[in-house]
Amino acid sequence: MKPRSDKQALSLIVYDADRIQHPQAQLFDVGFWKAQGCVVGEAVGRGSAWFLETPFGSAVLREYLRGGLPGRFIRDRYFFTGWSRSRPAAEFSLLVELQRLGLPAPRPLAALTRRQGLLYGGSLLTERIPGARAVADLMAERAADDAFWAQIGAGIRRFHDHGVVHADLNARNILIDDADTVFLIDFDRARRAPGASTRFAANLKRLRRSFDKLWPESVHGRLDDCWEKLEQGYVAA
């Protein structure tokens, strides 16, 4: 990777020069990609993520949007406290670091921070993980596979061993590819804090709450067993 930055008066684009040679704001405009027929799907969560087929490969475009009560008033803006501290630039920087550590996370392609007075908005482009599916969509299918759940626990432990504190670890932010590799995604507000055992424990508690919420009724009796295998995989890793 070759992380580079393009700073203008009211915007900052950070990007991987190995993949994008001429960064422009239009790369973060879903309308631009739709006009070229490059949008091939969409995942709707707190905000929206669009799946793209681009000249630099399969990608995911995500706009930074607020959730919860603040999102009712200011949906796509945040208070500006510095370019490097903006959410797009910070997440891009962390993803670059995760790539250098060899951790299974999306490869960052580019991030845009655009300032408007005291506020800013932004978007992030990452490489799409081929064949990846969210754990939330695999719960019923893999409920009887003890090794699968242990592998997820071991995958999370890899990140914690490198001090990575995920801000929203849930069953939709853990992806499994065709080779059963465990990926974590959505590192907005995540950071590295080696030895932060309390925060790592909080990550697992947050994940368990999402399991309780999303676990299919058809395999309800397997929830506790699968969670136990996940915890065992985490401890043994």
Q: Which residues are catalytic?
A: 168
From residue 71, give the alpha-carbon distance in Å to each of 74, 76, 166. Answer: 5, 8, 21
Separation CA 84–CA 197 (nearest Å) = 27
Could you tell me how many residues make up the chain? 237
The answer to whether the beta carbons of residues 110 and 20 sit under 8 Å apart is yes
Question: What's the rounded Cα separation, in Å, for the pair 75 and 71?
Answer: 4
Pick left, alpha or beta for residue 22 (phi over 0 → left; psi -120 to 50 → alpha; otherwise beta).
beta
Contacts of 131 (CB under 8 A, 6+ apart): 177, 178
| Among candidate residues 79, 236, 66, the one with its CA nearest the CA of residue 157 | 236
Distance CA 73, CA 71 (A): 5
Residues 113 and 94: their CA atoms lie apart, in Å, by: 15
Evaluated on CA atoms 117, 120, 121, 126, the torsion sign reads positive
